[in-house]
Structure formats: C-alpha cells, structure tokens
Structure 1
C-alpha cells in the first residue's frame, strides 16, 4: 500500500480532543521523561524573515519516541503587523514516522500550541508553586488566556477564585462569555494596579506586551508567577524571585526574546542560578519552600507540539478523520 499524508484542519483537531487539557498534561509528563532518557531531542530552531513588517517564520524540529514515535517540524509564521484579519501566528506541524521516516501527516497547530503551553503551566502550578493554588490572577484575554482558563477548569477545580484583567475590558468579557459557566467565581478588577493588589497564590501572564509591565510587586512570599508572553517581566522583578524555574534551559537562551533569556544575555542572570526545570520537577522531585517566591519562565518546547500532533494523527487514523493525500502515484515509483 502506498503511503498517504493525512491533513488535520482546526475542526479535526478539536474533534480529536486536541484541546483537552488532561490529555495534553499527560503527554507533557511522558515527553519530559522521554527527554531525560534520551528518547526525545529538540535541536535549535531556525528562522527566516518575512516581507511582512517584523514578520518571521520559524522552523522548530524535534523527535520523540515512546508511544509517539515521531520526528517532525513545527513551522510557524509570526505576522505581528498583518492586517488581513487572520491570526498573527499561523502554525502547521509536519510529522514523520521516527522509524521509517515516512511522512504521516500535517496538522494545523494553533490550538495545539496554546493547549500544550497551558499544560506546561499546569505542571508548574502543581509542582513549582510554594503553596496550594486557591486564587489565580490571570492577565490577558487572547488565545493563551483562554487555553489557561480551560486548563484551570479541568485540572484545578479546587480553585476558590479566578481574577482576570485585560487592557481591553470588552475583549475580556467576550472571552469569558465564550467560555461559558466556570466552576468558581470570577473577579474582574478595573485596573492593573487593582489586579496586582488582590490576593493570589499564582499569577499567570498571557499578554502580547512588547515591554515589561510586571515588576517586583508581582512577586510575593508563597506565590508563583508564570510568564507566558515574551517580555512581560522586568529584570528587577526576576531578581525579586527567591527561586527561578524554567521549562528548559537550552541553546535558545542565546536568541529568545523571553525576559529571562534577555536578562541572561545582558549578563544579569547566570545560568547556574536556575533552580529547576521540568525534569527536575517531575523526575528529581524538586520543590520550593513554602515561603519562596517563584518565577517560572515558559519558553515553549516544540517537542511537545510534535508529540501532541503525533497522538492526534494516530487517533485520526483509527477514526478515519481528516483528509488523506497520496504521496506518490504507482507510475512515479516505476
């Protein structure tokens, strides 16, 4: 039988459970263990400039073994000033069989990216928070904020309160309305100052801010701050943390726009000062003290994207979902 390439569009991804927080959380746990055992690898990304102002397209390859058995590349076009009404980030993930190298499928990946990012945040909240998470302050109202609220809904039903703030209140209200009924009360302070003055055990920042707007006041004893956006936290804020944790420290520290890596390149944060990464949390059992203030930097590991896409393609084959395209004709192989 000649191989075919299976294409999954966004609707297929949703139908296959691509945005399920529990499945993504389970995938992340397994991939971290595969990375530690040498059964997964993630080389440095590469990129090219787009003609769109400030636009770049990134190629992020990875291989992951175990039940995923996939080698692939996530291809993402970032278009910060595009005015065509489409998302500013457009992502596709190409997956090959890791044993044979035969292409298995192509997956529209915007929802997968947000879901795996929220799943990594769930790991941080569960294992790197100094104290049990009861009150969460969430900043932002975009795709990442929505994915994080869905994750909290499924994985942290014990929350007492969710506090939400966004620069544009109407956008936040639309986001909350789209999510429907939530199992805990939601507070919406009118200003960032009021939001930061509230009581919280965890602060999750999911904004598109190009310049830091969070400082030392965000870090408090017994709390954790998760930075999901690129450059939301000032160097002074990071210095205030008694423990700094990241999903991973890799070659991307030389190029990433994340606040922590900018601080590293400025010579103001030595790599040895990192307290833990995901493998330390999940495999070595590292935990903060109850009086620590923890800052967690989420770079976003594309090895998780490859794993999630591979799982969906396996499920799609079983359920016969998506569109299949022949890679070859019989005549072309003669």
Structure 2
C-alpha cells in the first residue's frame, strides 16, 4: 500500500516553501530545464463556480531533472465570497514524473507568491537597465509581501524602498509583519506622490482593473515590473524600449494582464518581445543602461510545481506531513 503525503500551509512554510533564495534557485533551474525540453506547461483549463464570477483553475506542468515531478495546481478564485476565507485558495497535487506514482498534496497559496517574487528577482537582476537603487512597490497584499521579503533577501544593498497601497492600514500591517529591513522604507499615502518619487524600479502588485501607469513614467534607465492585473497603459508599454516577459504562450489569448489585452487589441505584436526568462538565464540577454524596460509577469505554474516538488522531497527527508493511504486493486 502506498501513501500520499499531505502538507498544510504552515508545514510548507517550515520546509522552506517561502524561502526567497531557494525559490530563486528553483526558478533558474526550471528555466534551464524548459530550454532543454525537460519541463513543460500545457494550457490551463477552468470551470465556473456557482458563485458569481467564481472560477476554479487547473494548471498542470511537468518538471524533470532533480525535481522529477508532474502535477497540477488547483486554484479556486472566489471574488464574492463572504465567509472569512481567502478569495483565492490553492492546492497542489504532485506525482513522480518518471513513473506517475502520487507523491504529495499540499496547500500552496504561499508558493505562488514566493515563486512570483523569485521571478521578479531574476528579472530585476538580469533585465534591469541599471543596478536597482530605489524601488517603488505598489500594493500590500500577498504578492507585495512576498516581493518585500524577496527584495530584503536578494537586494540588501538598495538605498530605499518606497511603498504605497490604496488602504493605508494594509500597508502598515505589511511593514509591521516585515520586521527589520536592510534599508529605509517610506510609506506614501498618495499614488501621485508615490509615482513622483525618484525611483528607478517600479513593481506593481495591485488588483487594479484600469491602468494608472502612463507613458510619462517610462524613462531611460528605468524598469517597470508588472505582476498585478491591468495597471500599465498600452501607451506606456508602447513607449518602452525593451519589453521582457516571463514567457509567451496560449494565455496571451485570455489573460487579463495589460500586455496580453494590448496584444488582443492588435496594438502589440509578439515580435516586439525582446527577451524571456530563458534569454536572460541561458543566453545572457541584457538591457542597455539607457533602455527603458517593461517586464510583464504572467505567472508560470511550472515554477509552482518545481517549488512544490522541492518541498515534498524535504518533507520526505524530514518525515513531515500526514500520510494518506492509497489503495490500488492489483491484478
């Protein structure tokens, strides 16, 4: 009789699931595997919930190498939920890639935020036109918290990080949870004041459905990193000297991200993409110091499977988690 290891959110965290350096290393290794054809990410699918605007997404992927995992992230988006639980709830199911045996089932919402921040770190290290010194971080939700943690771990030499959120109390809570940071932070209450600061890198982690980053903010030596929904206008993207993406796939036909909305409006062509993650990691593509760079992070679930596989392997080594028995009728 085989068993499936179940891991809670706190166990995933204790096993290093939210570690920004480990996540960064996993992302880099997965990018290399993708270039070699040893990692893949088929198109996602979804079903509607009975609740208004609610959907559940199935996001499969396979990652070879030392990860040896195939799996699916199953995420329920519950925008109208009033039950006290998160609006997004994610579970990841893993099987071995070499023989298909079930391995683990884990709560994985924090893994998504951690891998997204790790991808941003990769882009910031390799696609930024100049070494980042002053960051403007917009948002105070799960993604913004993960990015703040990532910046502290990967860029302790920054001069300052300015932060803004539409709800100031949420911003206060994020900075309180962050604890001691290696650089000064400034809390800004006005988005106009925030954008007027002398930043070289802008990271958007909001749920805005209408753009508020216009072309005037695209300037030489600056990088605009979009991890949120629709913060950046088409005109701003068009003005950027270099457009960099984590990847380009079938999701360009459905994603609500600014870049893909622009593509579907016939105002952006794929050939304008200067680089993706593989170009940065494998081919050493770099921006010029005078470039203005726009980075669009769709969020590749192949990285979720890589991080989950590493956590599952650590759980097995430490014998952490609840063993759920699996019974199979053998001939």
TM-score normalized by structure 1?
0.98
Tell me if 1:131 matches 2:130.
yes
What does 1:101-120 align with in structure 2 at a 5 Å threshold?
101-120=100-119
Residue 61 of structure 2 is matched in structure 1 by 62
What does 1:238-249 align with in structure 2 at a 5 Å threshold?
238-249=237-248
Q: Please state how far the C-alpha of 1:316 moved relative to its aligned partner.
A: 0.1
Range with bigger deviation, 32-41 or 47-56: 47-56
Query: Which ranges in structure 1 are unaligned for 5 or more consecutive residues?
Result: none
Deviations 1:21-72 (A, max 9, x none): 0000000000000000000010110111111211111111000100100011
Pairs aligned (count): 331
Tell me if 1:257 matches 2:253.
no
Residue 324 of structure 1 is matched in structure 2 by 323
Give me the whole-angstrom Cα distance separating, in 1, the residues matched to 2:189 and 2:104: 45
- Report the 3-state secondary structure (helix = DSSP H, G, I; strand = E; otherwise coil) of the residue aligned with 1:24: helix
Runs of 4+ in 1 over 3 A off after TM superposition: none
Residue 92 of structure 2 is matched in structure 1 by 93
Residue 291 of structure 1 is matched in structure 2 by 290
Deviations 1:75-126 (A, max 9, x none): 1111112111111110011100001101101111110000000000000100
- Report the 3-state secondary structure (helix = DSSP H, G, I; strand = E; otherwise coil) of the residue aligned with 1:275: strand
Residue 149 of structure 1 is matched in structure 2 by 148
Residue 197 of structure 1 is matched in structure 2 by 196
Range with bigger deviation, 268-277 or 185-194: 185-194
Residue 52 of structure 1 is matched in structure 2 by 51
Q: Please state how far the C-alpha of 1:333 moved relative to its aligned partner.
A: 3.8
Residue 33 of structure 1 is matched in structure 2 by 32
Give me the whole-angstrom Cα distance separating, in 2, the residues matched to 1:23 and 1:148: 14
Q: Please state how far the C-alpha of 1:228 moved relative to its aligned partner.
A: 0.5
- Report the 3-state secondary structure (helix = DSSP H, G, I; strand = E; otherwise coil) of the residue aligned with 1:310: helix
Give me the whole-angstrom Cα distance separating, in 2, the residues matched to 1:18 and 1:190: 32
Deviations 1:112-171 (A, max 9, x none): 000000000000100000000110000000000000000001010111100000011111
Tell me if 1:231 matches 2:248.
no
Give me the whole-angstrom Cα distance separating, in 2, the residues matched to 1:267 and 1:151: 35
Give me the whole-angstrom Cα distance separating, in 2, the residues matched to 1:40 and 1:190: 43
- Report the 3-state secondary structure (helix = DSSP H, G, I; strand = E; otherwise coil) of the residue aligned with 2:188: coil
Give me the whole-angstrom Cα distance separating, in 2, the residues matched to 1:12 and 1:328: 25
Give me the whole-angstrom Cα distance separating, in 1, the residues matched to 2:211 and 2:51: 25
Residue 7 of structure 1 is matched in structure 2 by 6
Range with bigger deviation, 250-259 or 24-33: 250-259
Give me the whole-angstrom Cα distance separating, in 2, the residues matched to 1:164 and 1:107: 32
- Report the 3-state secondary structure (helix = DSSP H, G, I; strand = E; otherwise coil) of the residue aligned with 1:131: coil
Deviations 1:205-253 (A, max 9, x none): 0001122121113322101111011111111111121110000011111
Give me the whole-angstrom Cα distance separating, in 2, the residues matched to 1:226 and 1:148: 11
Give me the whole-angstrom Cα distance separating, in 2, the residues matched to 1:178 and 1:21: 16
Residue 17 of structure 2 is matched in structure 1 by 18
Residue 271 of structure 2 is matched in structure 1 by 272
- Report the 3-state secondary structure (helix = DSSP H, G, I; strand = E; otherwise coil) of the residue aligned with 2:315: helix
Range with bigger deviation, 119-128 or 233-242: 233-242
Give me the whole-angstrom Cα distance separating, in 2, the residues matched to 1:222 and 1:86: 42
Residue 188 of structure 1 is matched in structure 2 by 187
- Report the 3-state secondary structure (helix = DSSP H, G, I; strand = E; otherwise coil) of the residue aligned with 1:62: strand
Give me the whole-angstrom Cα distance separating, in 1, the residues matched to 2:91 and 2:106: 6
Give me the whole-angstrom Cα distance separating, in 2, the residues matched to 1:107 and 1:210: 31
Query: Which ranges in structure 2 are unaligned for 5 or more consecutive residues?
Result: none
